[in-house]
Amino acid sequence: MKVLVTGCAGFIGYFAAARLLARGDIVVGLDNLNDYYDVSLKRSRLSLLSPEASFQFRQIELADAGAVAKLFEVERFEGVVHLAAQAGVRNSIRNPMAYVESNIVGFTNILEGCRANAISHLVYASTSSVYGGNRKLPYSEMDAVDHPVSLYAATKKANELMAHVYSHLHGLPTTGLRFFTVYGPWGRPDMSPILFARAIMEGTPIEVFNRGDMARDFTYIDDIVEGVVRLLDRPARADPDFDPIHPIAATANAPYRIYNIGNEQPVNLLDYIEMLECVLGKTTEKRMLPMQAGDVQRTWADTSLLQKAVGIVPSTPLKVGLESFASWFKSYYHF
């Protein structure tokens, strides 16, 4: 296929583009290379893709409707993997307009490009953050997600609703993927693996929120990308069993699907830090702090729908994934 991968210089976008190239697809990568975090890391990821003959890069702002429309019209994509977004729960409190521009306006432009050019399937990133204040665990796609606790989560829930409208009105097959705490080599420096690893290696205190009473469903990047690619090959279809009297959130009587992608094994935050210290070979002080605004205490994915759809179970053990991350981290940051 000829596939558009947005956010190709980002963490998940880079790995998704590399995986598609490895299997022989033609990939056009889009990224704006913004400075939300170190641009040199984004350029380093991009440099690994650029030598590939089947890869082309376009530096475009998602909010630029004209530029996005022209890209779709010229390139004639068959599939779209939309991973570009303004990420970060806490940053959405400080800088809300960036999330509206990228995650709402930008996503509208992607939907319009898909509609106008008869794209066979749009796969897009959602997030486990949409579960917000839900207390029922594990999180299921069947659960209501009406109580977000951050603007970031709200924009991602809005993306799911917008995709449903385009599936319903225009027959556009859309699949939204709720990612659970993705980690691995080449990860984002604002996420806990790099934040904690840097503190451990430099001997500075780690800030531990909610005094350590937190757990996350850490999911290794390879498992995430395997799910993305398998679902891209399986365009969403209308659910023949959909009951409008008793509707469920994960399907519709339109070509629309929502899936969790998580490891199904939540790990306590303090155990995670201890394991990261183990693979790095050093320890450091922990500074216990209260819960941050916009955060949630626990995440845990129910992936039964994903397993049924494409037959995969994300299962990379945390220690194996952290060993791979630690090896890359020490090499890239020269520790």
Q: Does 233 map to a domain?
A: yes
Q: What one-character-per-residue DSSP string does 9-29 give?
A: TSHHHHHHHHHHHHTT-EEEE
Q: Does 142 map to a domain?
A: yes
Query: Contact 154/148 with Cβ under 8 angstroms?
Result: yes
Question: Is the pLDDT assigned to residue 29 strictly greater than 80?
Answer: yes
Q: Does 211 map to a domain?
A: no
- Structural domain harbouring 249: 2-182+220-263+300-315
> CATH number, domain at 39?
3.40.50.720
For 233, phi then psi, to 5°, come to -75, -5
Mean pLDDT score, 111-127: 98
What percent of the chain is predicted at pLDDT more than 70? 100
Query: Contact 113/42 with Cβ under 8 angstroms?
Result: no
Task: Compute, in degrees rounded to 10, the torsion defined by CA atoms 302, 303, 305, 307.
Answer: -150
Q: Does 327 map to a domain?
A: no
Q: Does 295 map to a domain?
A: no
Q: Does 208 map to a domain?
A: no
Q: Does 225 map to a domain?
A: yes
Q: Residues 272-290: pLDDT tens digits?
A: 999 999 999 999 999 999 9
Model confidence at 296, in pLDDT bands (50, 70, 90)? confident
Q: Does 332 map to a domain?
A: no
H/E stretch holding 191 reads: none
One-letter identity of residue 72: F
As annotated, the active-site residues are 152
Q: How many domains does the chain have?
A: 1
